[in-house]
Structure 1
Amino acid sequence: MKYRHVVFIVILILVIDQTLKFWIKTHMFMQQEFIIFPNWFRIHFIENEGMAYGLKFGGDFGKILLTTFRLVAVVAGFFYMKKLIREKYSTGLLICGSLILAGAAGNLIDSMFYGLIFNDSIGYEVAKFMPPGGGYGSFLHGRVVDMLYFPIYEGYLPSWIPFKGGDYFVFFRPVFNIADAAISVGVITILLFQKRFFARHSAARQEKAASHAEI
């Protein structure tokens, strides 16, 4: 796998992620919802100021810190991917790394620029792109757009379940976006197949070292 393949994967995920977010911002108001498949898949528009899946981090200063960290991580990520390619790590690992990098970059774009280029989605008002009065925030203060909602199960849990019995429960509750999904798929796949990914690289290095020793 070559570096241009990594760049292609990142750009492809970014285009899909940002196209969907742009459509959501310019066609839906906050909390509006479209049911795609009854009972388990909806497009539900929300925004969050923090991390993936609506998690938050430390107010205004935390927002700047988180966005700055994302920026540094994305830049460092491209250099790290070059290193992995140069050292001939497995294609599977490089694809997973590309997904994680693309997801981080997707949410970074929201955090850096959406406050500048969109106004607020208040009440039943749909946000406008590049509004005359300016956006709802400043640089690094944009909110991340989320829309994918999979409430596969909604209802009250049986009373016999310890601690949570009788409580109203939704699975899967978090609303997320394409960038979040790319990060999750990349991380989970690495965790599941880490032995295979790294064992192949270790074996290749040992084989290369042995061949040099014979010479």
Structure 2
Amino acid sequence: MNLKKASLIIAIILIIDQLSKIYIKTSFRLGESVEVFSWFKILFIENEGMAWGAKIPGSYGKIILTVFRLFAIVAIGYWLLDVIKKNKPKVLAWAIALIFAGALGNIIDSVFYGVVFDGSYGQVATLFAEQPYGEWLKGNVVDMLYFPLYDGILPEWLPIWGGERFVFFEPVFNIADTAISTGFGLLLVFNKKAFPKEEK
């Protein structure tokens, strides 16, 4: 893979990711959902922290997380350039490009969304609002893809969780998250091709 192709992949993912987030943010109230299929819904939530909603505690936790993400994206970008320059396996370049695009997509939310959107609680947000909801580096990541493949009550005979409501797959995510997960998936599935052993 050359740099031009990698840049095109990254640009396409970023455009789709950001357009979908802007559409959701300016069309849905926080918590609002639309059922596409019984197993797929568009559900607008905002993630204030890391994956699965984890947070760094304290008033500066969000800034620390965003700054860490900025350093991480620089390191991933350098890795991608090195892989392309040394003509390493295509699957490795694909994986890193996907991870880079996804990480950058969520960083854009964290860095800019707090100062370009107003709040979504009880209202549809406005882009380039006069009174934005946050500050630089303190934006929330927009998530909207929800796949409740199973949503029901577990059988009573099951130990511990019997009789309780169970949802699979419960996390809500976005296009950027999908790109990151796909990139890591490629590294796991094609590990030997991505990191071939050098012959001595």
TM-score, normalized by the shorter chain, greater than 0.5: yes
Counterpart of 2:174, as a letter, is: N
1:60 partnered with 2:63: no
Q: Structure 1, unaligned stretches of length 5 or more?
A: 210-215
How far did 1:159 drift? 2.3
Structure 1 runs of 4+ aligned residues shifted over 2 Å read: 52-60, 159-163
- Which residue of the partner structure matches residue 213 of structure 1? none
Counterpart of 1:89, as a letter, is: K
1:23-68 deviations in Å (ceiling 9; x for gaps): 011111111111111x200000010111134332324322111100
Q: Identity rate of aligned residues, in percent?
A: 48
Q: Give TM-score scaled by structure 2 length.
A: 0.95
- Which residue of the partner structure matches residue 109 of structure 2? 110
Equivalent in 121, 134, 137 of residue 134 of structure 2: 137
Would you say the 8 A contact 2:114–2:135 is kept in 1? yes
The structure with more radius of gyration: 1
Inter-partner Cα distance in structure 2 for 1:89 and 1:126 = 46
Q: Give TM-score scaled by structure 1 length.
A: 0.88
1:6-155 to structure 2, matched below 5 A, reads: 6-37=6-37, 39-123=38-122, 125-132=123-130, 134-155=131-152
Would you say the 8 A contact 1:119–1:135 is kept in 2? yes
Would you say the 8 A contact 2:110–2:139 is kept in 1? yes
Inter-partner Cα distance in structure 1 for 2:160 and 2:86 = 50
Secondary structure, in 3 states, of the residue corresponding to 1:47? strand
How many matched pairs?
A: 200
Secondary structure, in 3 states, of the residue corresponding to 1:173? coil
Would you say the 8 A contact 2:33–2:42 is kept in 1? yes
Secondary structure, in 3 states, of the residue corresponding to 2:135? coil
Counterpart of 2:61, as a letter, is: G
**Aligned-residue CA RMSD in angstroms?**
1.4
Secondary structure, in 3 states, of the residue corresponding to 1:27? coil
Q: Structure 2, unaligned stretches of length 5 or more?
A: none
